[in-house]
Amino acid sequence: MRTRAIGSRNVGVIGLGAMPMSVAGHMPDEGQSIRTILAALDAGVTLIDTADAYTPSHTDVGHNERLVARALSLWAGDADSVLVATKGGHTRVPDGWDVDGRPSYLKEACDRSLKVLGVESIGLYQHHRPDPRVPYEETMGALKDLHDAGKIQMAGISNANPEQIRLAHDILGDRLVSVQNEYSPRFRSSEPEIDVCAELGLAFLPWSPLGGMSRTGELGRHNSAFDEIAEERGVSPQQVCLAWELARSPVVIPIPGASRPETILDSVGAATLELSKEELARLG
């Protein structure tokens, strides 16, 4: 698989978003989740994205991280070649989701993730979502402390606007390597963030790059060219979508979610799909 850079690491241009394996009401059994992760690894995926808050309920924090750690322990390949990216600061509560950007909490969450993943240092640790009750620079200071303590190898941020990206970069310097925001044909408002990442040399990791769990089959509804080009090329619209995102900027590394081996293997096909200028113009 072709690779792109996240800080000092090169990873496959298509990553795996592991969240769908831990969504209440949709999650597969553990065996299928493990098979999905192993299929991705065998296909050349070297970036797996998870988070402590990816869990079917607030009583099982770390559920998704445990699945990832279990699969890596079973994989016959070199687990050190895989960059596991996890996140902290978006919390699960009985009635849904909340945020906690306090430095003390982020450090506590990182320690918990270290234990769940069974590692001494997390490859890429991302602040999950800004907390309006906590100054952003204070939360970024916690990421800096975690890096300098050796608990994380690289730092990332998620759901950040251009001003927050620049502020994080000012505080973290080259410790900051990535930004993870929503981006897809349906949700294009992260275009400015992609441009800032390209300017600063940061990887941009689109979450929900296919439009979200319940909308993956609706690409043609936003632009029929996704379906038309897919039919012309003999590939899935999802592959066309991911190839379109890869063509947006060399800093883009999509992390499509999957809970079945067939799904991630189809997504991996986008790594070798080169769209022409005419096709890209049709896609908009």
**Which among 54, 105, 125, 136 is annotated as catalytic?**
54
| Structure tokens belonging to residue 147 | 């890096």
- The CA distance from 142 to 156, in Å, is 12
Three-state SS sequence of 172-201: HHHHEEEEECECCCCCCCCHHHHHHHHHHC
Question: Which strands, in side-by-side order, build the sheet including 47-49?
Answer: 16-17, 47-49, 83-88, 122-127, 152-158, 176-180, 203-204
- List the structure tokens of 239: 């592959």
Task: DSSP letter for 275, please.
Answer: P
213 phi and psi, to 5 degrees? -55, -40
- Residue 125 falls in the annotated catalytic set: no
- Residue spans of alpha helices (H) in the chain: 30-42, 63-74, 103-117, 136-148, 162-172, 191-200, 219-222, 225-233, 237-248, 261-268, 277-283
d(CA 241, CA 223): 11
Catalytic annotation, residues = 54
